Structure 1
């Protein structure tokens, strides 16, 4: 039997893939279930739920549906008002709320800004290249490691390039991320930065810490030209896509059985 954290974590993984976002929001069970998870007692479930919603809100077509979902905006307001929650959770809730509240004047073809367009001046983004990030099991280990680091707000993976963009509080050193990832004993992280010539280089985080003032907060997202992206991307195998679709329906059924009356 899947528990709440397992369900929302897997749903977050599906939502991290752009091609799944519309289907998740249109599904009759998943979006209402996510709203109910916003009232969950577990901070881990809350954070994973907010990360999922943040992914889903990247598709401009989803914003109106999400905003109008019964209880969505009220639940986000309640999270922001809860004093016992960490600033990581409340900051992400504020960000999701702001996106859903914004005037829908954005072009649907705009460049995605997920986790990079920070609504909080107290946050920064760090791009890591993670040696050993080869499959979903290793990705799961990396997620668990990052979630243990106090000050991590959210993260997103680019599996084809073995990268992870981590949004953190501005006072969190990148070394803390590398240390947590190294504790998995199968993964090793370096920071991705651009040198003076504009070329990307990998910096061991011990060295990056020594020259932190010279490093950018984050790298821009990879080239968003559709043709170039399609040529260089590594597609998810058909079997994996099928499993994702199967799980989506299973999750919806679980949410319905658990929460509806």
Structure 2
């Protein structure tokens, strides 16, 4: 049975894949439903909704549609001003709001400002409570290893969002500023098959790897984890690779795609 948290968690997982972001935003039910979730009382639903919107906003053509969606900007403003929310939720709401509200054609920046902007990937310039870490992950060779890494990072309290670049075996992680980078290495090393190094630039502007020694300190854990897309036992490797996009594009399937079912839930169940 679908509930708000399971629906938005699965939408977030779909939105984490770049090829799905346009389809989700164009769907008539999903974007309005996400706006409604911004008024939800469950902080887990709020956080997952903001993560989903952050992923969708990574595709520039999506931004005008998202900004013009009825209630989107007002709901984000209300969320930023809402009392009693965690720093993670407030900071992510501010980030999504700033991305959607940015000028369509910003004035050209000087080379120095461009360099500073690149070093602040995923971080709003006014947000000092979060930081972005780029990791090179040894062993990140397949979707199975990516799944292990996702599970490890999602368990760390203080991780706000992350994206993968599988071709270069990298993961960009946005975390609270008070979370030690070594905590990420410790969580990843706990998988027993993966290890992480931090990617930084030296004085010459060249990328170098900095070893991260897993710490002996206890890694802060999230107490509750959302539901994720179920694995299907009979899937071949070819079908498994296409699972996310097939769920969003198979509109003609007689049983209906998962996205259609989610959109139906979003548009018909407004009792929260």
TM-score (norm 1): 0.73
User: Is the alpha carbon distance of 1:45 and 1:161 closer, same or farther for their aligned partners in structure 2, counting shifts above 3 Å?
Assistant: farther
Where in structure 1 are there 5+ consecutive unaligned residues? 209-235
**Equivalent residue, structure 2, for 1:182:** 189
| Aligned length in residues | 229
Residue from 157, 162, 165 that aligns with 1:155: 162
Where in structure 2 are there 5+ consecutive unaligned residues? 108-117, 216-239, 250-256
Residue 118 of structure 1: CA displacement?
4.7
Residue 123 of structure 1: CA displacement?
2.5
Q: Distance in 1 between matches of 2:74 and 2:154?
A: 26
Residue from 189, 213, 224 that aligns with 1:206: 213
**Equivalent residue, structure 2, for 1:228:** none
Does the 8 Å contact 1:58/1:114 carry over to 2?
A: no
Residue from 258, 261, 266 that aligns with 1:250: 261
Q: Distance in 1 between matches of 2:264 and 2:38?
A: 18
TM-score (norm 2): 0.70
Q: Distance in 2 between matches of 1:4 and 1:132?
A: 34
User: Bigger relative contact order, structure 1 or 2, given CA contacts below 8 A and separation 6+?
Assistant: 2
Q: Secondary structure at the match of 1:115?
A: coil
TM-superposition CA deviations, 1:185-238 (whole Å, max 9, x none)? 444322223456655443331299xxxxxxxxxxxxxxxxxxxxxxxxxxx955
Between 1:56-65 and 1:27-36, the stretch displaced more is 56-65
Residue 38 of structure 1: CA displacement?
1.4
Between 1:85-94 and 1:164-173, the stretch displaced more is 164-173
Does the 8 Å contact 1:115/1:154 carry over to 2?
A: no
Q: Distance in 2 between matches of 1:131 and 1:257?
A: 45
